[in-house]
């Protein structure tokens, strides 16, 4: 452990989310200061008044602000966080998420007890819109030390949600970055995969914290953007990471159920037929899409292709269909989560 460096920094990449950033900072600045945790804001050239928000906290000596002249993209902003080398451990934090600060002291205690861990996963709850308050705090955090394969199988798919991760900075090396992964918005996953691959051969453990100490806000994307980001770019990032020491089949399957399944089955296919066919093959072959989901996928595609998107939107407004469709959605899609 390098005592010349601060122990832990919460690093927040942000762009034009002043309202959410203000909400997060108002909750964490003072509790982090009491635990000697630094907060670093990496602003990608926001134009929405983010700087004015930061001025509210300028007298807090544990907070630092870095701003790009222009938006350089999510991945380059993430790369700057690791290049800055601010502390012994790096906690990536989404600007629109919430942290249960009551657990900060225990998180520090875990780090000090197991200083050589590779990565720490902190469980979270996904919520749409404004997150609810945190439940009553448990007396202590439950956690376990696991090897890299177990980490990849059990939680890496959820660790794709950026705020769930604390990384031991000594295991990160600039040369592990494949430039071909830049610009795909999954650079943090690329880094996690490279660290797991590196540590698998030397017996370094990771930590899984089971308490839900984070609330992460879910976003939305149109069909083309969703397919590009969650299928094409995600799979490209995994492939370009060239992981050889851990198997990723379970990781990809779990990611499908976490981030892809409900959206892909519910939206139907409104994009070009050739693209939808290629995506279907990738879902089946690379994510292990179950047979039941394949049937629903084909069914929704046939409905959109036969009826047409505009006409289907009009039909959905009819009284009978407005009552039936939510019921079918609940039964056919959300009722089959156990299938995994």
Domain ranges of the chain: 8-219, 257-339
How far apart, in whole angstroms, are the C-alpha atoms of residue 339 and residue 337?
5
What's the CATH number for 8-219? 3.90.550.10
Residue 3: helix, strand or coil by DSSP?
coil
How far apart, in whole angstroms, are the C-alpha atoms of residue 220 and residue 240?
26
Measured over the CA atoms of residue 52, residue 18, residue 161 and residue 67, the dihedral's sign is negative
Please give the pLDDT value at position 331. 67
Instruction: Identify the weakest region by mean pLDDT among 2-11, 32-41, 231-240.
Output: 2-11
The CA–CA distances, whole Å, from 268 to 288, 289, 296, 320 equal: 19, 15, 9, 20
Please give the pLDDT value at position 125. 86
pLDDT in tens, 63-80: 999 999 999 999 999 999
The whole-number average pLDDT for the span 103-120 is 97
Strands of 62-159 (E only): list them. Answer: 63-67, 89-92, 98-99, 119-127, 143-146
Mean pLDDT of the chain: 88
The whole-number average pLDDT for the span 176-186 is 97
DSSP 318: S
Please give the pLDDT value at position 304. 72
> Residue 131 pLDDT more than 60?
no
> Residue 339 pLDDT more than 60?
no
Share of the chain above pLDDT 90, in %: 65
How far apart, in whole angstroms, are the C-alpha atoms of residue 152 and residue 166?
15
The whole-number average pLDDT for the span 175-183 is 97
Please give the pLDDT value at position 52. 93
- pLDDT band of 338, cuts 50, 70, 90: very low
Contacts of 252 (CB under 8 A, 6+ apart): 157, 235, 238, 286, 287, 288
Residue 115: helix, strand or coil by DSSP?
coil
- pLDDT band of 340, cuts 50, 70, 90: very low
Share of the chain above pLDDT 70, in %: 82
Output 104 or 305, whichever has higher pLDDT.
104
Instruction: Identify the weakest region by mean pLDDT among 37-46, 56-65, 242-251.
Output: 56-65
- The shares of helix, strand and coil residues in the chain, as percent rounded to the nearest 5, are 55, 15, 30
Output 332 or 43, whichever has higher pLDDT.
43
pLDDT in tens, 246-276: 999 999 999 999 999 988 887 655 556 667 7
Q: Which residue, among 23, 169, 154, 207, has the nearest Cα to 92 in the 3D structure?
A: 169
Which pTM value belongs to this model?
0.89
> Residue 178 pLDDT more than 50?
yes
């Amino acid at each position: 452990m390098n005592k010349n460096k601060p122990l832990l920094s919460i690093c927040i990449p942000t762009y034009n989310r002043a309202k959410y950033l203000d909400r997060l900072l108002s909750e964490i600045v003072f509790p982090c200061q009491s635990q000697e945790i630094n907060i670093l804001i990496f602003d990608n050239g926001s134009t929405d008044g983010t700087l004015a928000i930061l001025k509210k906290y300028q007298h807090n000596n544990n907070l630092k602000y870095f701003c790009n002249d222009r938006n350089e993209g999510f991945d380059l902003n993430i790369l700057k966080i690791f290049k800055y080398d601010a502390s012994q451990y790096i906690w990536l934090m989404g600007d629109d998420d919430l942290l249960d600060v009551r657990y900060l002291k225990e998180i520090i205690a875990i780090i000090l007890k197991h200083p050589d861990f590779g990565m720490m996963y902190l469980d979270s709850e996904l919520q749409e819109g404004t997150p609810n308050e945190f439940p009553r705090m448990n007396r202590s955090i439950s956690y376990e030390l696991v090897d890299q394969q177990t980490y990849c199988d059990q939680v890496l798919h959820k660790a794709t949600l950026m705020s769930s991760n604390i990384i031991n900075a000594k295991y990160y090396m600039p040369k592990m970055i494949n430039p071909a992964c830049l610009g795909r918005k999954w650079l943090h996953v690329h880094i996690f995969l490279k660290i797991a691959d590196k540590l698998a051969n030397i017996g370094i453990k990771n930590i899984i914290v089971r308490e839900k100490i984070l609330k992460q806000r879910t976003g939305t994307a149109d069909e083309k953007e969703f397919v590009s980001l969650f299928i094409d770019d995600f799979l490209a990032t995994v492939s370009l990471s060239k992981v050889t020491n851990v198997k990723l089949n379970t990781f990809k399957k779990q990611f499908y159920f976490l981030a892809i399944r409900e959206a892909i089955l519910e939206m139907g296919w409104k994009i070009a037929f050739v693209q939808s066919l290629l995506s279907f093959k990738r879902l089946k072959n690379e994510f292990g899409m179950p047979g039941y989901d394949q049937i629903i996928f084909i069914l929704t595609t046939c409905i959109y292709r036969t009826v047409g998107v505009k006409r289907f939107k009009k039909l959905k407004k009819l009284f009978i269909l407005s009552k039936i469709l939510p019921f079918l959605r609940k039964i056919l899609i959300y009722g089959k989560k156990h299938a995994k």
